Amino acid sequence: MEQRAEMLTKDQREEGRDRDSFSMEIESKSQNEEFARVVVAVFMSRMNPTLEEVEDVKTAVSEAVTNAVIHGYQENGGIIFLKAQIEDRELTVSVADHGIGIADVTKAMEPMYTTDTTGERSGMGFSFMEAFMDQVSVQSKEGEGTVVTMKKQIGR
């Protein structure tokens, strides 16, 4: 299991680019969902969030990573790209994959909609992301992948 975090160079920090951010790649495996949510929780801890804010973000990250594993790569493996950034009191988290993409993003974001034919999935992933984060946007192209970007104000 390869997990790599990109470290910022001294020049990048001095120039102010990505001053409070990280990015990493994880394999598209179900067991990495927990790893992703913990990494984001530790990263956001510098913002002094409430326990509720941490749990909200962890839930949203879990849903986004699970979608990439189950739907993006259809459990066939691949790389999930996780990025987080802090700007003032706003946390932005992006979860991206190079999987099959989403044919109709609007439909996919409807509560209870799922492409799962086994009956094991509820179709509530995007609904949970929207409930726990302030803003959720999804960009996707069939055959190229999906990027889910979520934002939350911490410490209102």
SS (H, E, C) 13-72: HHHCCCCCEEEEEEECCCCHHHHHHHHHHHHHHHHCCCHHHHHHHHHHHHHHHHHHHHHH
Of 33, 37, 53, 67, catalytic: 67
**Phi then psi dihedrals of residue 95, to 5 deg:** -125, 120
Catalytic, 121? Answer yes
Of 25, 55, 90, 121, catalytic: 121
The whole-angstrom separation of Cα 101 and Cα 103 is 7
Of 37, 63, 89, 110, catalytic: 63
Catalytic, 67? Answer yes
Number of helical (H) and strand (E) elements in the chain, helices listed first: 5, 6
Q: How many residues does the chain have?
A: 156
Enter the tokens of residue 42.
């530790």
How far lies 146's CA from each of 34, 37, 68, 126, in Å? 20, 19, 8, 13
Q: Catalytic residue positions? A: 63, 67, 121
